[in-house]
Amino acid sequence: DGGITQSPKYLFRKEGQNVTLSCEQNLNHDAMYWYRQDPGQGLRLIYYSQIVNDFQKGDIAEGYSVSREKKESFPLTVTSAQKNPTAFYLCASSRADGTYEQYFGPGTRLTVT
Amino acid sequence: AQSVTQPDIHITVSEGASLELRCNYSYGATPYLFWYVQSPGQGLQLLLKYFSGDTLVQGIKGFEAEFKRSQSSFNLRKPSVHWSDAAEYFCAVGAYDNNNDMRFGAGTRLTVKP
């Protein structure tokens, strides 16, 4: 079955530690996205990538970093510079042919204490 | 940039009753509009989308939505709600010239009473 996998589902870290969230897709999509979801705020775009080895900042990129070394993979690192990292993180992908619809993974809930 | 407002944070309906979830958008050109559904602790699933053409679009799970340009709205409807429809619903608007710029509303949580 084609889809997007995110691991782990739950992640706990101590303050001051960097943590990397995994996102893999086998949909052969060119574009991939990372969103942050907080209660009552909908989804906010962190980073996106349209092709391998290229990515762009979204609205709330500060304190986050990404890489896109393979088409299938788009890991997100939450650095210690992110002031409020506890949130639900969603990865998505889409074709880059103008069809726009994004397909979402199941999400990772990160808790930093 | 485009934006989306979902005026209702939480809606409760009885099972079998009809449902309408409101969505208003702001965008200077013809928008690309979407409705997604999210079950607790899960990702988002696309219910339906509007790009052009017929303003009444049908989606999965018996949902439909109507694009009304004059009202800048894209309300989601279902004639008879099932208990399994309890979830959070997000409206989203995309820019026609930038498929990476998708804006989501804050969501409407739907509770279904037995």
> Residue B72 and residue B70: Cα distance in Å, rounded?
6
Query: Three-class SS of residue B70?
Result: helix
Chain B nearest-CA residue for A41: B106
Q: B-chain residues within 8 Å CB-CB of A4?
A: 43
According to DSSP, residue B80 is labeled S
Identify from A23, A100, A103 which residue to disrupt to test chain B contact, counting B C-beta atoms within 10 A and taking the largest count: A100
Q: B-chain residues within 8 Å CB-CB of A100?
A: 32, 34, 49, 51, 94, 99, 102
Pick from B43, B100, B107: CB nearest A90: B43
- pLDDT tens-digit map of B61-82: 999 999 999 999 999 999 999 9
Regions in chain A scoring below 50 on pLDDT: none
Pick from B4, B43, B49: CB nearest A101: B49
> Residue A21 and residue B113: Cα distance in Å, rounded?
37
In the block, tokens 């199941």 appear at: A106
> Residue B62 and residue B40: Cα distance in Å, rounded?
20
Nearest to B106 by CA among A39, A92, A111, A16: A39
Q: What share of chain A is helix, strand, coil (3-state, %, to 5)?
A: 0, 50, 50
Judged on CB neighbours under 10 Å (0-12, 13-18, 19+), B13 is: middle
Q: Does B44 touch chain A (CB under 8 A)?
A: yes
Q: Which amino acid is located at A30 in the chain?
A: D
A33/B51 CB distance under 8 A: no
**Which value, in Å, is the radius of gyration of the alpha carbons in chain A?**
13
Q: pLDDT-derived band of residue B99, with 50, 70 and 90 as boundaries? A: low
Chain A nearest-CA residue for B90: A42
- pLDDT tens-digit map of B24-65: 999 877 789 999 999 988 899 999 999 888 899 999 999 999
Residue pair A112/A18 in contact (Cβ under 8 Å)? The answer is no
Higher pLDDT, B58 or B1: B58
Q: Does B1 touch chain A (CB under 8 A)?
A: no
A48/B99 CB distance under 8 A: no
Contacts of A27 (CB under 8 A, 6+ apart): A2, A3, A4, A93, A103
Nearest-CA distance B57 → chain A (Å): 15
